[in-house]
Amino acid sequence: MFYQFTPQSRFLLGTAGYPSPDILHQAINASGAEIITVSLRREGSEGGAFRTLLQQLNKRILPNTAGCHTVKEAVTTAQMARELFDTPWIKLEVIGHADTLQPDPFALVEAARILCADGFQVFPYTTEDLIVGEKLLEAGCEVLMPWGAAIGSGQGLRNIEGLRAMRAWFKDVPLIIDAGIGAPGQAAQAMEMGFDGVLLNTAVAKARDPVRMAGAFAAAIHGGHEAFQAGLMEQRDMASASTPIFGLAQFS
């Protein structure tokens, strides 16, 4: 496997939409994230200043193909990102629906197959569909990134049962929730379900205090993972007294 998650790297953070480069810098440091996502379009529009900031952060860069709607767009963008950032990693997005920004599963699998054959290590932004997941793994992907909800919606985990099924089916595959997370509690919920990481951007970038919010998400993601590892209690239909009956005082 090309990447093993560690407790310090379960939070992946995006770099778009922050009030200033300084706040972005502070937020990334507060998050403890070891991996940050960068759009090639962002790099192209801001040039040298943004590249300097990335160098100062000394984080692992995960370029993405944000805004691509066709296989050709996504593959070309990925190839340009590899040259620019000197990394085989690519977060693959091939958008199929303009309103929901849902990935196009057919184009996604095709682009993933092309890129994996070309030596890329692909992080595909996908849905919780098990068949699409299987096809992406067959194409050469080693990690899957199902959405929680629509990008930037902040709705959290819209399809809990579908995500649980995905986690159970792909037991040995790293799964990262990508998109739709709007609050630390939602990120903790994903980690309590056994997901390996959470990738988000808007919930931190658009917060009243992005630096403080980044720290809150870091704590929630860590806490959720620790809870999963410790073993969460099972839900019950009936009450179950925590105090034993034996030893209670007898009155006559």
Which residues are catalytic, by number? 91
The answer to whether 126 is annotated as binding is no
The answer to whether 180 is annotated as binding is yes
Whole-angstrom distance, CA of residue 139 vs CA of residue 120: 11
Give the other-Cβ count within 10 Å of 98's Cβ: 8
∠39-105-77 over CA atoms, to 5°? Answer: 25
Sheet of 197-200: strand order equals: 145-146, 121-126, 89-92, 60-64, 35-39, 11-14, 197-200, 176-178
Whole-angstrom distance, CA of residue 184 vs CA of residue 201: 12
Question: Which amino acid does the sequence have at 51?
Answer: R
Give the other-Cβ count within 10 Å of 32's Cβ: 19
The answer to whether 182 is annotated as binding is no
The answer to whether 201 is annotated as binding is yes
DSSP secondary structure code for residue 33 in this structure: -
Whole-angstrom distance, CA of residue 71 vs CA of residue 78: 11
- Report DSSP letters for 164-184, one per residue: HHHHHHSTTS-BEEES---SH
The answer to whether 202 is annotated as binding is yes
Annotation: binding site = 152, 179-180, 201-202
